[in-house]
């Protein structure tokens, strides 16, 4: 039964799934690259965006049902600015001070945030598993012998578009160049007249804007619960570790590798062990090359 044609489904699925992983990891990578902060609340912030879109779609909150409904993709018009604001506020009011306290302070504050976000989502939208169900999220596309949910293709397209846009933004606009400069040498950037405090705020905000996109596409593709965040944090971290810092191409390759590891591992070994294989891969890469496969060790 096993042949090349049988492998086509998991391979294609893995690559497309990798797109979603890239989308989730972009925000973590940006905050990590610019501020040297591993935002352990990243997964929960992505899930928060999923819930905001869920709220916009169903109007459900704390056992009440408000009378409105919007398409999840349309709701991004509101969800992206909200998430940007949250990101900016986290940097401005929490992280900027935390860095001056101690090495572990930003990490512990991020843990506090994660606890608050998880339990707020649980209060507002119950611990039940939710999903953003729309007509286009339920359709499938066939390519030859392979049939996959349409959302997988949309995830991949979204990832490519966002990565390209982000790259152009970082290379061409003043703010983008300022973010790049600050991540390379904060002091030098400051001396060149860059308002580094504000750049940090914008960088965190942009990271959360990509998290908003990731959250909505995630919710359209998979079911989520308030505690799903940890799992996506590990995946995003794996993508960043494999891809290395500051490399968009690396991030993309990292996403593909984890996506393929999941689907191929599930196909060749045991479908139930997909997540375990993924986590073990992240752990092995982390232990073997903490600076990443494509990354260069930065001091």
Partner 1 sequence: MRFTIPGFGKGTIPLVAVAVVLAVLPVVGIAQRWLLYLLLFFVYLAIANMWNLHCGYSGLITMCFPAFIGLGGYTMVIAAWVGIPIPLGIIAGAMVAVLFALLISFPVFRLGGVYFAIGTLILPEVMKQVFLLWRPVGEGAVGKGAGYMLKGATAFSLGDVYWMALAVGIGSIIAMRFVLNSRLGLGLAAIRDNDKTAASSGVGVFRLKLYSFMMGAFVTGLAGAIYYVRQAYIEPVSAFSISWSMTAIIAAVVGGLRTEQGPIVGTIIVVFLHFLLARYPGYSLILQGVILIAVMLAAPQGIVGVIDRLRGIRVHRATLRLATSIADRIKGKGNM
Q: At closest approach, how far in Å is the CB of 140 from partner 1? A: 27
Give whichever of 7 and 234 is closer to partner 1, judged by the CB atom: 234
294 makes contact with partner 1 (CB under 8 A): no
Burial pattern 1-12, b for ≥16 Cβ within 10 A else e, equals: eeeeeeeebbbb
104 makes contact with partner 1 (CB under 8 A): yes
Distance of alpha carbon 223 from its chain centroid, rounded? 16
175 makes contact with partner 1 (CB under 8 A): no
The answer to whether 83 and 49 are in contact (CB under 8 A) is: yes
Look at residues 21, 8, 7 and name the one whose alpha carbon lies nearest to residue 256. 21
For every residue of 38-56, DSSP letters joined together read --TTHHHHHHHHHHHHHHH
Q: At closest approach, how far in Å is the CB of 296 from partner 1? A: 16
Q: Binders of partner 1: how many residues, by CB under 8 A?
A: 41
Report the site for partner 1 in 261-280 (rule: CB under 8 A): 270, 272-273, 275-276, 279-280
Q: At closest approach, how far in Å is the CB of 59 from partner 1? A: 21
The single-letter DSSP state of residue 131 is -
Contacts of 7 (CB under 8 A, 6+ apart): 264, 267
141 makes contact with partner 1 (CB under 8 A): no
In 3-state terms, the chain is what percent helix, strand and coil (to 5)? 75, 5, 20
Interacting span for partner 1 (CB under 8 A) from 10-18, 50-58, 91-99, 257-265: 91-99
In the block, residue with structure tokens 């012998």: 145
105 makes contact with partner 1 (CB under 8 A): yes
Interacting span for partner 1 (CB under 8 A) from 65-73, 106-114, 139-147, 244-252: 106-114
The answer to whether 203 and 95 are in contact (CB under 8 A) is: no
Give the x-and-dash track for 203-232 against partner 1 (CB under 8 A): ---------------------------xx-
In the block, residue with structure tokens 């408000």: 66
Give whichever of 35 and 163 is closer to partner 1, judged by the CB atom: 35
User: What are the residues binding partner 1 (CB under 8 A)?
Assistant: 38, 40, 94, 97-98, 101-105, 107-109, 111-116, 118-120, 122-123, 230-231, 233-234, 237, 270, 272-273, 275-276, 279-280, 282-283, 286-287, 290
């Amino acid at each position: 039964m096993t042949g090349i044609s049988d492998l086509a489904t998991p391979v294609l699925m893995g690559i497309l799934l990798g797109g979603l992983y890239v989308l989730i990891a972009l925000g973590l990578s940006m905050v990590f690259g610019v501020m040297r902060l591993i935002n352990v609340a990243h997964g929960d912030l992505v899930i928060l965006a999923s819930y905001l879109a869920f709220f916009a779609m169903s109007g459900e909150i704390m056992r009440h049902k408000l009378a409105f409904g919007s398409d999840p993709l349309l709701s991004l018009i509101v969800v992206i600015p909200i998430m940007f604001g949250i990101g900016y506020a986290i940097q401005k009011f929490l992280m900027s001070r935390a860095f001056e306290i101690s090495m572990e302070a930003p990490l512990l504050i991020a843990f506090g945030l994660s606890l608050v976000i998880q339990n707020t989502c649980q209060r507002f939208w119950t611990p039940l598993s939710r999903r953003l169900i729309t007509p286009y999220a339920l359709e499938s596309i066939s390519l030859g012998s392979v049939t996959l949910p349409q959302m997988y293709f949309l995830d991949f397209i979204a990832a490519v578009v966002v990565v390209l846009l982000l790259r152009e933004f970082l290379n061409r606009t003043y703010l983008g160049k300022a973010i790049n400069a600050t991540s390379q040498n904060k002091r030098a950037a400051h001396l060149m007249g860059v308002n580094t405090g504000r750049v940090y705020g914008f960088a965190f905000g942009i990271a959360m804007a990509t998290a908003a996109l990731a959250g909505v596409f995630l919710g359209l593709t998979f079911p989520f619960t308030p505690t799903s965040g940890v799992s996506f944090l590990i995946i995003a971290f794996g993508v960043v570790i494999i891809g290395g810092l500051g490399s968009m191409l690396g991030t993309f390759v990292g996403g593909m590798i984890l996506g393929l590891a999941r689907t191929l591992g599930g196909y060749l070994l045991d479908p139930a062990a997909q997540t375990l294989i993924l986590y073990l891969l992240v752990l092995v890469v982390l232990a073997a090359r903490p600076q990443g496969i494509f990354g260069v060790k930065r001091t």
